[in-house]
Amino acid sequence: MAAVTAAQPRSSKTESYVDNKRKEDIRQANIKAARAVADAVRTSLGPKGMDKMISTANGEVIITNDGATILNKMEVLQPAAKMLVDLSKSQDAAAGDGTTTVVVIAGALLKQCLLLLTNGIHPTVISDALHKASTKAVDVLTAMAVPLELSDRESLIKSASTSLNSKVVSQYSTLLAPLAVDSVLSVVDPEKPEMVDLRDIKIVKKLGGTVDDTELVKGLVFDKKASHAAGGPTRMENAKIAVIQFQISPPKTDIEQSIVVSDYTQMDRILKEERNYILGMIKKIKATGCNVLLIQKSILRDAVTDLSLHYLAKAKIMVIKDVERDDIEFITKTLNCLPIANIEHFRAEKLGHADLVEEVSLGDGKIVKVTGIKDMGRTTTVLIRGSNQLVIDEAERSLHDALCVVRCLVSKRFLIAGGGAPEIELSRQLGAWSKVLHGMEGYCVRSFAEALEVIPYTLAENAGLNPIAIVTELRNRHAQGEINAGINVRKGQITNILEENVVQPLLVSTSAITLATECVRMILKIDDIVNVR
Q: Kindly write down the DSSP assignment for every residue of 240-295, as one continuous string.
A: EEEEE-S-BS----SSS-------HHHHHHHHHHHHHHHHHHHHHHHHTT--EEEE
Q: What is the pLDDT of residues 520-531, one digit of tens each?
A: 999 998 888 888
174 backbone dihedrals φ, ψ, rounded to 5°? -65, -25
Query: Does residue 200 carry a pLDDT above 70?
Result: yes
Query: Does residue 154 carry a pLDDT above 60?
Result: yes
- Among the listed residues 64, 92, 97, 99, the single catalytic one is 99
- Among the listed residues 334, 381, 401, 510, the single catalytic one is 401
Note the pLDDT of residue 5: 47
CB contact at 8 A, 169 and 211: yes
Rounded CA separation 489/459 (Å): 8
If you average pLDDT over residues 155-168, what whole number do you get?
Answer: 87
Note the pLDDT of residue 383: 92
Rounded CA separation 123/524 (Å): 6
CB contact at 8 A, 129 and 441: yes
The question of whether 100 is a catalytic residue gets the answer yes
Nearest residue to 218 via CA among 363, 402, 376:
376
501: left (phi over 0), alpha (psi -120 to 50) or beta: left
Q: What is the Cα Rg of the chain in Å?
A: 31
Return the bridge partners of 340, or none.
244
Neighbours of 214 (CB within 10 A): 24
Spacing of C-alpha 335 from chain mean position: 26
Nearest residue to 444 via CA among 426, 430, 428:
430
Q: With DSSP H G I counted as helix, E B as strand and the rest as coil, what are the percentages for the chain, rounded to 5? A: 50, 15, 30
Q: What is the pLDDT of residues 348-384, one digit of tens each?
A: 888 999 999 999 888 778 889 999 998 888 899 999 9
Looking only at the bridges linking them, the beta strands covering 235-244 and 292-296 are parallel
If you average pLDDT over residues 87-96, what whole number do you get?
Answer: 88
CB contact at 8 A, 293 and 242: yes
Query: Does residue 1 carry a pLDDT above 80?
Result: no
pLDDT band at 251 (very low <50, low <70, confident <90, very high): confident
Task: Provide the whole-model pTM.
Answer: 0.82
H-helix segments, 454-505? 454-462, 467-479
The question of whether 99 is a catalytic residue gets the answer yes
Nearest residue to 461 via CA among 108, 128, 171, 178:
108
% the chain with pLDDT above 90: 31
- Among the listed residues 64, 69, 100, 495, the single catalytic one is 100
If you average pLDDT over residues 185-212, what whole number do you get?
Answer: 85
* Per-chain mean pLDDT for the chain: 87
CB contact at 8 A, 287 and 348: no
pLDDT band at 407 (very low <50, low <70, confident <90, very high): confident
Rounded CA separation 351/347 (Å): 7
CB contact at 8 A, 455 and 45: yes
Query: Does residue 126 carry a pLDDT above 80?
Result: yes
Rounded CA separation 292/238 (Å): 10
Rounded CA separation 515/134 (Å): 9
Of 19-28, 306-315, 331-340, the range with the lowest mean pLDDT is: 19-28
Rounded CA separation 175/164 (Å): 11
